[in-house]
Structure formats: C-alpha cells, structure tokens
Chain A
Amino acid sequence: MSNKKSLFEKLFRDYQAMVRQMCLGFMKGDEDDAQDLAQEVFINTWSALDSFKNTSSHKTWIYRITVNTCLKYIRDKKAGNQIRIDLMQEQIAEPENQSKQSEQQHQSLYRAIGQLSEVDRLVIMMVLDELDYKDIASVIGINEGNLRVKIHRIKKNLKKILEND
C-alpha cells in the first residue's frame, strides 16, 4: 500500500502539469471543467495503478489514462446532457478577472485547437507536448504510418483555423 502511495505521489508530482494542461486544452480553456477532468484522470490513475505492467513508460501510461478519461468524460456528458455540450461549443472560455496578456494568448491557443474534433484535439495536444510519434501511436493504438497521415491532416485543419482567426 505504501509503495502504491509513494509511486502515486511521484506520478502526481511528475505529470500533474502535463495532465492539467491536456485537460485544459481538451475543455477549450474552461478552468473548472479542466480541474474536474484532471482530478478524474488521477482518480483513474490510482485505480489502475495495481495493474500497471512495465510494458510501457509511466509517461505513456499516464497519457493513455488521460486520453481515455477525456474521451469518456465527453461521451458521458454528451450521452447524459447534450445541451451542456452544445453550450460548451459557444462558451470557449473568456479569460477570468486577471486578464493578462499571456492568459489571452493561452485562450487563443485553446480556442484554435478547440475547433478540432475531440480525437484530433488529443492527438495535436500530444504533438504540441513534443511526445514522439511512436509514443502517440501507442497511446492511440494505431500504427505509426496511419498516425503520420492523421497528424498531417490535423495540421492542415489547424492551419485553416488559424488563418480564419
């Protein structure tokens, strides 16, 4: 139990920022939803910790849990409450009171990637996070060749989005 606890604390320390950032990007900059989602990721991490096999690195493993939790979260919301999601498309977060310039830049980033589909959003966030294509492929579960094609298409979409912004 104490081994599990110390490993969890280490994973939490090492990957907290990455998880929060992925969740924030996935939730299009909505801080509250991102916080809930990040919490859910670590709850799932704790639950899955006993079954961790050393077949992948901790990093890839956490990315997998993050991606699956994000997809489950959006699936649950859409199945349970369609209106909430429709509203979410519109509400792409306004910067909170502390409207700093950097905050606005972050929001414009979330706004741009927020226009992609959920899966594409997750893939491009891993690219932005500079994860190897091999690792991204092992998180998503498709071969590297298909992933490259996918990333190329996402980049093209993103370029269009940025041009229209």
Chain B
Amino acid sequence: MTDDLNDLKNKWQGAKKSQSSQSMDVQEIMTLSKKKMKSAIVMHLKNIIILSITLVVLFLFFKYVAPLQEVLSQIGIALMIGGLVVRILIEFYSIYLSYQIDMSDTAMQNSNSSLEFFKFRKTIHGSVMYTILGLYTLGFYALTPEFSLYFSTIMMVLIDGSYLVIAVIVGYFINVGIKKEMKYLQELLTIQNDLHT
C-alpha cells in the first residue's frame, strides 16, 4: 500500500509541476472577481427592488386611484400590502444568511452554514410562500365586493379570473423552487455525511 501511495505521490507531484508551466491571467481573475461580486449584489437586490416597486405601486393605487372605503376592502389591502412587506423582510434576512456562508471556513463549518441557509430557503419557498400567496389572494378577492360597485360583472369576472391564472403560475414556480432547494439540501446532506464518515 505504501509503494502504491508513493507511486501516486510521485505521479501527483509530476502532474503538479506541469501545472506550474501553465498560467492564468491574474488581472483577468481580479476583473472577473469584481464583476461577480457586483452581479451577486444586483442578483440579491433584484427581488427586493421588484417587490418594493410592486409595493409602492399598490400603495399609490389604493391611495390615489382607488381609495376603497369598506372595511372588507381595507382588510384586503392590508393583507396584500402586509404580505409583500413580510416577503421583502424575508428577502433581506435571506441575503444576511447567504453572507454568513464563508468560503474560507472549514469544509464542515461551510457545509453547516450552507445547510442552515438552504433549510431556511426551503421553508421560505415552501410553506411561507404559499401562506403569503394565500393571504394575498384572500386580500385580492376581498376587494371584489367594493370593486363590483364600479365595474361591470364581465369586467369583474375577467379581473378575478385573470388573477387566478397568475396565482396558479406563481404557485407552479414556487413548486419548482422548492424542488430545486430540496436537491440542494439532499446534496448537502450527502456531503455532510461523507465529511463525518
């Protein structure tokens, strides 16, 4: 076994020497690193920006375009806007957790913090997202009675019906997201198991 290992060591060192003759461009790596750091920040902020714009548009719509008065409508607006606010806060926490994953930690620590992050994401993309979508839908349909005072029945059917289609599409993407998180989790658990044994 020692001979085999020594033979492998010799081959390994020989292969390593041949790597010394090849070179990557340090400037290119630094440029790529800066670009990647920027795009990671943009990617993290993208969801927050989209959700925040939706929040502002909804707020302005209900404040200036359709200032609904009935209690049921007010509850509906609160559910829709509240759901979005909670979603934005969750997104911030998710970013915070992702920055806790330190690539220079030990493999075990890195795997633990990745596991914590993906467990959180699985919960968020699963039950929490479905709850928020459910409350948002409830809030949306709570506006129907007061809206129907101003719109024709056909118009109301179109509005309520099209929302349903959108909700189903969003539900589908939530499901796809959960499956992806599950794959990550399974992979992480396999790696953790390998690290332990």
Contacts and interface: CB of A to CB of B under 8 A. Distances in A.
Interface of A: 5, 8-9, 12-13, 16-18, 20-21, 24-25, 35, 38-39, 42-44, 46-48, 51-52, 61, 64-65, 67-69, 71-72, 74-75, 78-80, 102, 105-106, 108-109, 112-113, 117-120, 122, 125, 127-130, 138-142, 150, 155-156, 158-159, 162
A21 B9 contact: no
A118 B24 contact: no
A47 B106 CA distance: 16
A47 B194 contact: no
Contacts of A128: 8-9, 12-13
Contacts of A39: 24, 29, 32
Contacts of A38: 24
Contacts of A13: 26
A158 B12 CA distance: 14
Given A47-B33, A79-B180, A141-B195, A21 B104 contact: no
B24 A42 contact: yes
Contacts of B4: 158-159, 162
A140 B108 CA distance: 6
A118 B110 contact: no
Interface residues of B, number: 47
B187 A48 contact: no
Contacts of A44: 103
Contact of A47 (B20, B37, B110): B37
Question: Dominant SS at the A interface?
Answer: helix
Interface of B: 1, 4-5, 8-9, 11-20, 22-24, 26, 29-30, 32-34, 36-37, 102-111, 114, 180, 183-184, 187-188, 191, 194-197
27 contacts: A16-B20, A16-B23, A17-B20, A21-B19, A24-B15, A39-B24, A43-B33, A44-B103, A46-B29, A47-B37, A51-B104, A64-B103, A64-B104, A64-B105, A64-B110, A68-B103, A72-B114, A75-B191, A78-B187, A79-B187, A117-B194, A125-B12, A128-B12, A139-B107, A141-B107, A142-B108, A155-B1
A67 B146 CA distance: 60
Given A42-B33, A75-B188, A105-B14, A119 B20 contact: no
A150 B196 CA distance: 9
Contacts of A12: 24, 26, 29
Given A17-B19, A47-B33, A75 B184 contact: yes
A138 B106 contact: yes
A79 B30 contact: no
Nearest to B186: A79
A61 B104 contact: yes
A101 B104 CA distance: 37
Nearest to B197: A150
Contact of A106 (B9, B11, B32): B11
B106 A141 contact: yes
A140 B195 contact: yes
B196 to A, nearest CB: 8
B114 to A, nearest CB: 8
A118 to B, nearest CB: 7
A127 B23 CA distance: 24
A96 to B, nearest CB: 13
A8 B24 contact: no
